[in-house]
Chain A
Amino acid sequence: MPTSFDFNTSPFDALTVLEQDKIKQSLDVAYYPKGAEIINADVDKNSPLFLVIKGEVHQFRGNAFVSSFGATDWFDGKLITIGRTEFRYVAAEEVVAYLLPARLIRQLAADNSRFGSLLFADISERLSAAASGDQQRELQGFIMAKVKDAYLRKPFFVDGEMSVFDATRILRERNASHVLVRDGELSGVFTNTNLCDAVLLDRDLKAMPVKEASRFDLLTVDVNDDITEALLMMIRHRVHRLVVTEHGGIVGVLGQLDLMSFFSNHSHLIALQIDMAEDIVELRTAAGQIEKFIRTQHGSGVKVSVIGRMVQELNLQIFSKLWSLIAPMDVQLNSCVLVMGSEGRGEQVLRTDQDNALLLRDGFSFDGVEGICARFNEELAIMGYPLCSGQMMMSNPIWRQQCGDFKKTITEWVFSSDPQAPVYLSTFLDAKVVSGDVTLFEDVQQHLIHGPRDYAGFINRFAQAVNLFGDAEPSWWRKILPIGHTESNDMDLKKAGIFPIVHGVRSLALEQGCIETSTKSRIESLVAAHVLEADTGRNLIEALYFLLALRLKSSLNLNTAGGAAIKPDDLSALERDLLKDCLHIAKEFRAFVSKHFHLNVF
Chain B
Amino acid sequence: MFFGFQAWLGFKTRRLQRQLTNTSYNFLFAPPPEQEWVSLDCETTGLDRKKDHIITIAAVKIVGTKIMSSERLNLTLCPLTALNPESIRIHRLREADVQDGLSPAEATEKLLNFIGARPLVGYNIKFDQDMINRLIQPIIGIKLPNKVIDVAPMFHDFRSKQLGQGDIDLSFKTIINTLNLPIWAAHDAYNDALMTALIFLSLQNKNK
Query: Could you tell me which A residues sit within 8 Å of B by CB distance?
Result: 1-4, 25-33, 36, 53-54, 94, 96, 99, 101
Contact = CB atoms under 8 A, between A and B. Distances in A.
A25 B70 contact: yes
B178 interface: no
A3 B67 contact: no
B186 A3 contact: yes
A105 to B, nearest CB: 14
A94 B69 contact: no
B205 A30 contact: no
Given A94-B202, A96-B198, A30 B183 contact: no
Residue in B182, B194, B198 with the greatest tally of chain A CB atoms within 10 Å: B182
A27 B69 contact: yes
A30 B186 CA distance: 20
B65 interface: yes
B181 A28 contact: no
B164 to A, nearest CB: 23
Contact of A3 (B180, B181, B185, B197): B185
Contacts of B67: 28-31
Contact of B202 (A3, A31, A53): A31
A30 B70 contact: no
Contacts of A31: 65-67, 198, 201-202, 205
B63 to A, nearest CB: 9
Contact of B198 (A25, A27, A28, A29): A29
B68 interface: yes
Contacts of B181: 54, 96
24 contacts: A1-B182, A1-B185, A2-B182, A2-B183, A3-B185, A4-B184, A26-B70, A27-B70, A28-B68, A28-B69, A29-B67, A29-B197, A29-B198, A30-B67, A31-B66, A31-B198, A31-B202, A33-B65, A33-B205, A36-B65, A54-B180, A54-B182, A96-B182, A96-B198
A29 B183 CA distance: 13
Interface string B190-208: 0000100110011001000
A307 B205 CA distance: 44
A25 B205 CA distance: 28
Contacts of A2: 182-184
Contacts of A32: 65
Contacts of A29: 66-67, 69, 194, 197-198
B148 to A, nearest CB: 20
A536 B7 CA distance: 90
A472 to B, nearest CB: 45
Contact of B70 (A1, A28, A53): A28
Nearest to A32: B65
B184 to A, nearest CB: 6
A28 B66 contact: yes
A1 B198 contact: no
A3 B205 CA distance: 24
Nearest to B201: A31
A26 B183 CA distance: 19
A432 to B, nearest CB: 46
Nearest to B70: A26
Residue in A31, A54, A99 with the greatest tally of chain B CB atoms within 10 Å: A31
B73 to A, nearest CB: 13
B66 A30 contact: yes
B62 to A, nearest CB: 9
Contacts of A3: 183-186
Contacts of B65: 30-33, 36
A94 B204 CA distance: 13
A433 B9 CA distance: 86
Given A30-B67, A54-B182, A99-B66, 4 more contacts: A1-B185, A4-B186, A28-B67, A31-B202
Q: Which 6 interchain pairs have the tightest Cβ spacing?
A: A31-B201, A29-B67, A33-B205, A54-B182, A3-B185, A26-B70
Contacts of A101: 70
B172 to A, nearest CB: 16
B180 A94 contact: yes
Nearest to A30: B66
Interface in B49-93: 65-70
A4 B67 CA distance: 14
Nearest to A98: B69
Nearest to A36: B65
Nearest to B185: A3
A25 B183 CA distance: 19
Contacts of B183: 1-3
A35 B188 CA distance: 32
Contacts of B69: 27-29
Nearest to B60: A29
B197 to A, nearest CB: 8
A265 to B, nearest CB: 34
